Structure 1
Amino acid sequence: MLHLRLITPADRTESAVRLIEETVGTTHLVVLPGAARDPAGDVVMVDVAREAGDELLGKLRKLDLERTGSIAVESIDLSLSERAEKASEDAPGEAADAVLWEHLADATHEESTLSFTYLAFITLATMIAACGVVLDNAVLIVGAMAVGPEFGPLAGFSTAVVQRAPRLALRSLTALLVGFAVAMAVTVGFSLFMDALHLFSEDQLEGDRPNTGFVYAPDSFSFVVAVLAGIAGTLSLTSAKSGALIGVAISVTTVPAAANAAVALSYGDMRQTVGSAEQLLLNLLGIVVAGTLTLLAQKWFWNRRNAAAP
């Protein structure tokens, strides 16, 4: 269930209430006339089944409440109410399959912002992965994959394509490209510094690396795994099962490939640099294509469901 809290101008409260009452899957409607002070207006609260949430939000947005008032949405972890159970039963579809497009756009917008924190995480992840590829340590590679924040911009770009939001697409692409460029540049310096301390060596990079050699040797499975991870990651975002994102993060070879390219570049090994760059681009492409197609499929499914609903 979702909990909606609206601040509505007095002349639009009745319209908002009517929309709520006409939406199947709503309950616990509360109207507090004149309760809001900033901005001034009425407060309307209602619980709605997740599968009916996107439809209701779309209708409420047409009242221009984000400009004249506000719309706040919270997830309800526990609701002990027969009315809530009935609302969930009456709403068409399943809650786990529901997509809240407004929430998805807002979440990916935040995750796709080129901030100091984002740059710090992707740079640290790449440096950790650099240690992993030089030491041929799979544990460090997995840790670097989990730390990397690159799935946010990738999901943001896919969402922007489906929602036709060019500003979000540009923001996501900027975060992705600038993030990896900064991370790889810093990692080149990090590699040279570690070499000066005799902690990295070219012999380690060029030696037999059974655990991490795959990061500069892309093949068809690289793209297949990226596509599967892109589908899983997108589903985890749209269904609010964020725990699955950890599994997605450690199944693709984006950060390790960037790290290997940076270390190889610091030693002038263009073979590994080019191979790692190809691995990186192949994974990024697979995730974006899979994410976009998954969102398009979900959008088509829900539009068809709404058209078939009585």
Structure 2
Amino acid sequence: MLHLRAVCPAERTEAALDVLRRHAGATHLVLLRGAAVEPPGDLVEADVAREATDEILAALCELGIDRDGGVTLEVIDTSLSDHADRAEEAAPGDGSDAIVWEELISRTGEESKPSWTFQAFLTIACLLAAVGIATDSPVTIVGAMVVGPEFGPLAAIAVGLVARRWDLVKRAAVALGIGFPVAMAVTAVFALAGAFTGLFDRAAVFGDQHQVDFIYDLSAYSLIVAMLAGAAGVLSLTSAKSAALVGVFISVTTVPAAGYAALASVLGEWDRAGKSLLQLLINLIGIVAAAALVLLIRRRGATDGVTTRPLSSG
């Protein structure tokens, strides 16, 4: 169940109440007249079954409540109510399979902002990958995979493509288009400093690589793993199985490939640098393609389409 709270202009409160009363997936309806101060209006609250949320939100948005008032959603961890149980049973579909598109768009949109925090995490991840490559340490490579924040923008691109939210696609593409080159440039400077001080020796790093060769070793499995990870990642996002995301992070070779390309180019291993960049590209494309395909398949069962309101600039 989700808790819905709507600030309604007074003249549209009855229409909003009618939407919630008529829908079998809504219960625990509460009305507080004049409770909202900014924007002014009435406060309407209800608990809604997850599988009914998209339809209810669409109806409220048709009333313009999202423009002239506001609608918020919160996850209910525990609900002890026969009314709630009946609402979940009456709502079409299964709550564990339902996608709340507005929630998904908001979440991926927030994670895809080209912020300093995003850039810092991506840069640190690439630096960790470079250290893992130089020391032939798969454990450090796995750490770099987990730290990397790139799945957020990749998921946002997939969601934006399916929902035709080009503002979301653009924002995520900018985050990745700036984030990876900057992270790789910082890693290259780090590699230059390491080569100058003797910390990174070409013969030692690339002479007889053993456990980290998979990073630049291209094969059909590169695309297969990327697509499986993309599918698992978007399923995790849409079903609130966040623990599965860790497995996604350590399955794909995005950050390690970026770190390897930066390190190899500085130390003159151009063939490996080129293969690493291709590995990075294959993983990015595979993740987005699989995530978009899963969303398209799951969307076919939805009773309503996705709204097309643009993201706010904030």
Same fold (TM over 0.5): yes
Partner of 2:3: 3
1:198 CA displacement = 2.2
Partner of 2:311: none
Partner of 1:28: 28
> Please, what TM-score do these two structures have when normalized by structure 1?
0.96
Unaligned runs of 5+ in 1: 305-310
> Residues of 2 paired with 1:281 and 1:36: CA distance?
49
1:67 CA displacement = 1.7
Q: Is the 8 A contact 1:136 1:212 kept in 2?
A: yes
> Residues of 2 paired with 1:16 and 1:290: CA distance?
38
Match of 2:226, as an amino acid?
A
Partner of 1:248: 248
Whether 2:162 is the aligned partner of 1:159: answer no
Whether 2:214 is the aligned partner of 1:192: answer no
1:81 CA displacement = 1.1
1:170 CA displacement = 1.0
Whether 2:181 is the aligned partner of 1:181: answer yes
Shift in CA distance, 303/27, structure 1 to aligned 2, threshold 3 Å: closer
Match of 1:260, as an amino acid?
Y
1:196 CA displacement = 2.6
Partner of 1:308: none
- SS of the aligned residue for 1:226 comes to helix
Unaligned runs of 5+ in 2: 305-314
Partner of 1:103: 103
- SS of the aligned residue for 1:253 comes to coil
> Residues of 1 paired with 2:202 and 2:271: CA distance?
13
Partner of 1:137: 137
> Residues of 1 paired with 2:75 and 2:114: CA distance?
27
> Residues of 1 paired with 2:154 and 2:126: CA distance?
17
1:110-129 correspondence to structure 2 within 5 Å = 110-129=110-129
> Residues of 2 paired with 1:26 and 1:209: CA distance?
60
> Residues of 2 paired with 1:143 and 1:20: CA distance?
47
> Residues of 2 paired with 1:175 and 1:52: CA distance?
33
Match of 1:81, as an amino acid?
S
- SS of the aligned residue for 1:31 comes to strand
Q: Is the 8 A contact 2:130 2:259 kept in 1?
A: yes
Match of 1:16, as an amino acid?
A
1:63 CA displacement = 1.2
Partner of 2:312: none
1:33-78 deviation digits (Å, cap 9, x = unpaired): 1111111110000000111111111111111112211101000001
1:159-238 correspondence to structure 2 within 5 Å = 159-238=159-238
Match of 1:221, as an amino acid?
Y
Paired residues, what number?
Answer: 304
1:13 CA displacement = 0.4
Runs of 4+ aligned structure 1 residues displaced above 6 Å come to none
> Residues of 1 paired with 2:98 and 2:44: CA distance?
23
Q: Is the 8 A contact 2:55 2:303 kept in 1?
A: no
Partner of 2:41: 41
Identity rate, percent: 50
1:212 CA displacement = 0.6
1:263 CA displacement = 0.1
1:245 CA displacement = 0.9
> Residues of 1 paired with 2:107 and 2:57: CA distance?
16
Partner of 1:78: 78
> Residues of 2 paired with 1:276 and 1:302: CA distance?
39
- SS of the aligned residue for 1:301 comes to coil
1:22 CA displacement = 1.5
Whether 2:308 is the aligned partner of 1:280: answer no
